[in-house]
Structure 1
């Protein structure tokens, strides 16, 4: 019977991880690929799992027919997973958000919460009842929760690896979901197999109900198999895409390793979307902006020959640059290489002339990676990313990137980029964003010239004074000498853009606003962009959110001091040690574990830009460490006092790991840009995820043994400890993803984790070896 239960728990872990990764990817598409949403989504997943574990799981645990109840919940989980995918696809329509718009943070939170609610509640309940079922056939009740945790973790590791390398690359989301349902039904049938009934206690056998249940499962097995192989899954996929892009003719839809790519055809125009945000239009782009973005910088340079375009070059920018006769070579590195392939599948005269020109050299690689490896020198570098809306884009707005670009520019070279702006809408948030961009550029380049616009401000940065000396007369001379024909760049518009008063206007525009520098490991620019977007669409929330950039250790340390004071007041007022120390320590470990996971995910995105394809593997590495840590500590713990010492050692190890984490990534950043180094760093990311999981996961079985005083309270203890872990993870996801990492950066965030764990270490150390007789047993309800 143990083997059947283990298989069921493995399938539970496998299904949970695959569901988590797929729903995370689908929600990220809806949320425009903003990585802050990862923290929100994972946080909601954890808190809802905790709710399922502590509520529905306990209710189900009280039934006499636990195997049957487990089976029903597993089937409902599979159905809820499929429904969640469908509702995620149509979520923007339900929220009233138009195609091409971002979803604000508050709708991100509550919509993902509601989408995940049934899936996570049901999956969380499976853990609690799984612990009870395993304990029914085990001689050691106190270790059952730890063993179920280990088996579930093994399933999550399999889910991460298999989904990354076998499922996601070859199947669409509904096919995978149907496969998950099929596996769960098979596991449930195996769990209820007749031979298993002979091993069960007579009080738990209900022949009629079990026969009905097995018959229903057999029917579901046939229906699910047909859905997977016969086409209904494909039909549901197509229907959900049509509803997602209501009133739009979608001619292409796929998930690449970087993002979701959708192509809409309208009035003989192709609109290309990345994660629901418009990337380019062909064959007629936004001519006015493209001409200004390209021609002004090229005319500011006396003799532009070598040009580099990082992202967004197809569909107009390359075409305008090629009009300059001195241009000899254009290196074009597209952020998502699949985008070029899809552009070629939907050709237009504009894109064909751009991509097939002999002067254009296509680089199918991430732009920042290309810039770090190339030895070329460029007269102009154009950044096609127009706003630091997420970590993927923010990588092109940091001081480290600007320093790298400066090394690749020629003596008179110019770096060109855009940022959201307006001549009439001048909120504090958009001023902070542009002030951040300006000061970050100014910290690297001697001269930064801004051309304000109604929707975008254009920044020209260089160490040459030539960029500041461009005036109308010089520009018109070069325009005529190069025989360039422009549709929108008329003399009066040029004069307006080059008027000296604009530089004073921009200085006044950002005066008194942030002077923060945007760094790779402190992406404050992304925070300002999110604040701007929230203020634009939800003014009251946005204004409040913008104040969060003032939060730091000056707020966090007093909160932790208050927690310690409360702990000591209880300790000395009652003469007993507070049993809340163990749940708080696990809560703190859950907080640390989530922060460590987000740090790994965020740093991977900053380094490579395609965490969309690796998120399952990174989560699997963390869970593998958690499982091995739990298994190892379960086996070596010989008694309560020994377990308490090990728990304290792990507390100290997590603190040390948090302090060392920034140093590890800083050292990795210092490695040379060789192929061997790139492979090593990828392995390092997996290793860091594994070690962080091992440290955090090792505390789970120890906490169960330390807290459990009455074997009859097994499910309550398992639920409390597991729930504390998930609750800490929820807080870590919300604070870490939305506030700590963007505002306090990698170092400040890791110091925060160290301080939180130091608090729990002090609490645990003060109860260690305490008065045993005061350790009241868990009430047997």
Structure 2
């Protein structure tokens, strides 16, 4: 049998060795993690072991090998990097690499006697997502709740199957029947809510639930936080002029798009630590040439600002289209060019807006402040509100809506004058 292991923990190789697999492909993104576990004996080298230092999802996408079991040994998806191993596209990818009788396994935090509502919704979201791709999904309760997913029927009498294969274990043989009774298994599977939304790459439902669970842990509410933030933004927007609102919306849009690109890049390529410096650089690199061009066209004023807003809207619309059509096939260069173009337009608008405000010292202060405040709000709101609650595509649409408001303000101001 061929087994794919995405990440590992102590003792797992010894257990896999009992099944005498033909090969075990152990995928670990960080080479140092694997090296430390082997050095201190947390995991052992077994016959047929192949250690692969690559992102697990990226490895599956580029592999043509089929497996009898895919074991995802990762913690709960509390980050976007982990969440991508629990989404619809990953489950589809995993199924395409399983044999006819293959099994996909992953786990979430378990419970003793009471399943809290936030955890129940997370389990329901995962179940509803993976059930689209596997005809049989079985949940096994315990300190961890294990998901077993297969296109073939699954049996719950695991100790009997192990005895039949002459595989000796300690926990399964001695404690399985006491902890995993038929009633507990049935009750857990009955708690699944089919109405909970599915977890998708572009709409990370689990991230929203993790966010809500974090607030519940401290007896707080995200609604209060978002209400206060909204009121503060509204008060500020009521006190600024039209040109400052354009820069506020541009700063908001640029930082919002930077966050979207970082998250989208992480979803498709698995990690951003080597490339994040490049992403941030291109989002800054366009400011200087943009300001240079804007300074030479500032005399066209309002029409120039409106044109720049229109170009931002077109670029964000293009981002939505290409992501929906197949973002996983986009080259790295696309994200870099997109970031440069967004920052180029941002730099272009600043000298034009400053010219419209008079160009004196107070105007410089107020326009620059509007840009920075918009950038701060864009970073915070996109991270905390738009992506967790709306998903990447709708977040991009929300940014388009903000720039449409800016464009309408500039057109109305031009007609008034």
Note whether the superposition's TM-score is higher than 0.5. yes
> Which residue number corresponds to residue 447 of structure 1?
136
Distance verdict in 2 for CA 1:647–1:763, change over 3 Å? same
Q: Tell me, in whole angstroms, the C-alpha distance in 2 between the residues paired with 1:726 and 1:425.
A: 47
Residues in 2 aligned to 1:426 and 1:420: alpha-carbon distance in whole angstroms: 10
Over 3 Å counting, the alpha-carbon distance change for 1:477 and 1:435 in structure 2 is closer
Cα distance, 1:319 vs structure 2 = 1.7
Are the counterparts in 1 of residues 73 and 106 from structure 2 also a CA contact under 8 Å?
yes
Deviation at 1:738? 1.3
Q: How does 1:603-618 map to 2 (within 5 A)?
A: 603-618=264-279
* Whole-angstrom CA distance in 2 between matches of 1:323 and 1:396: 27
Is the Cα contact below 8 Å between 1:429 and 1:546 reproduced in 2? no
Cα distance, 1:489 vs structure 2: 2.1
Choose the corresponding residue for 2:342, options 682, 692, 695: 692
TM-score, normalization by structure 1: 0.50
| 1:348 aligned to which of 29, 33, 40 | 40
User: Within 1, Cα distance between the matches of 2:224 and 2:161?
Assistant: 47
Deviation at 1:400, TM superposition (A): 0.3
- Match of 1:365, SS? coil
Shift of 1:769: 5.2
Of 338, 348, 358, which aligns to 2:47? Answer: 358
Correspondent of 2:24 among 319, 330, 335:
330
Q: Please give the secondary structure, in 1, of the residue aligned with 2:127.
A: helix
Q: CA RMSD in A?
A: 2.6
Structure 1 residue 350: Cα displacement? 4.8
Q: Which residue of 1 aligns with 2:183?
A: 501
* 1:519 and 2:200 correspond: yes
1:398 aligns with 2:94: no
Mapped to 2, the partners of 1:533 and 1:419 lie a distance apart of: 16
Contact residue 548 and residue 739 of structure 1 kept, 8 A: no
Do 2:159 and 2:172's aligned partners in 1 also have CA atoms closer than 8 Å? Answer: no
Rounded to whole Å, the distance in 2 between the matches of 1:695 and 1:614 is 23
| Distance change (3 Å), C-alpha of 1:580 and 1:546 | closer
Q: Distance in 2 between matches of 1:449 and 1:547?
A: 38
Q: Distance in 2 between matches of 1:446 and 1:736?
A: 36
* Structure-2 residue corresponding to 1:225: none
**Aligned CA distance change for structure 1 residues 548 and 514 (closer, same or farther; 3 Å):** farther
SS at match of 2:274: helix
Which 4+ residue blocks in structure 1 deviate beyond 6 angstroms? 546-549
Q: Distance in 2 between matches of 1:616 and 1:349?
A: 35
d(CA) in 2 for partners of 1:483, 1:350: 25
Paired with 1:514 and 1:734, the residues of 2 have a C-alpha distance of 30
Indicate the residue corresponding to 1:231 in structure 2: none
| Structure 1 unaligned residues grouped into runs of 5+ | 1-304, 568-577, 672-679, 772-781
TM-score (norm 2): 0.91
Q: 1:621 corresponds to which residue?
A: 282
Where does residue 364 of structure 2 map in the other structure?
Answer: 718
The correspondence of residues 636-675 of structure 1 with structure 2, limited to 5 A, is 636-637=297-298, 639=299, 642-669=300-327, 671=329
User: Partner residue of 2:250?
Assistant: 589
> CA 1:632 to 1:411, structure 2 compared with 1: closer, same or farther past 3 Å?
same
Q: Between Structure 1 and Structure 2, how many residues are aligned?
A: 413
What is the rounded CA distance, in whole Å, between the counterparts of 1:547 and 1:479 in structure 2? 52
* Residues 1:601 and 1:579: Cα distance change in structure 2 (over 3 Å): closer
8 Å CA contact 1:333–1:364 kept in 2: the answer is yes
2:172 alignment partner, SS class: coil
**Equivalent residues in 2 for 1:264-413 (5 A)?**
305-311=1-7, 313-325=8-20, 327-344=21-38, 347-351=39-43, 354-355=44-45, 357-413=46-102
What secondary structure is seen at the aligned counterpart in 2 of 1:527?
helix
Which is helix-richer, 1 or 2?
Answer: 1
| In structure 2, distance between residues paired with 1:599 and 1:443 | 27
1:461 alignment partner in structure 2: 149
Unaligned residue ranges in structure 2 (runs of 5+) = none
Structure 1 residue 446 displacement after superposition: 1.0
